[in-house]
């Protein structure tokens, strides 16, 4: 019983750590100068 409890505890910690690593960080707006312009069709 104690073995299963340990396994479940270890797995829970591993899943929690994986979740934190997976979703951590925040998106920062990168600096960007410019914009999108319509592109002309290619020459025939």
Q: Which C-beta is closer to another protein: that of 5 or that of 38? A: 38
19 part of the interface to another protein, by CB under 8 A: yes
CA distance 2 to 8: 10
Q: How far is the CB of 5 from another protein (least distance, A)?
A: 25
39 dihedral zone (left: phi>0; alpha: psi -120 to 50; beta): beta
Backbone angles phi, psi at 17, to 5 degrees: -65, -40
Taking the complex as a whole, how short is the minimal distance between the CB of residue 12 and another protein, in angstroms? 16
Binding site for another protein (CB under 8 A): 19, 22-23, 25, 27, 29-30, 32-39, 41-42, 44
């Amino acid at each position: 019983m104690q073995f299963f409890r340990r396994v479940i505890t270890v797995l829970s910690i591993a899943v929690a750590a994986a979740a934190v690593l997976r979703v951590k960080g925040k998106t920062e707006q990168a600096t960007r100068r410019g914009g999108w312009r319509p592109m002309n069709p290619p020459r025939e």
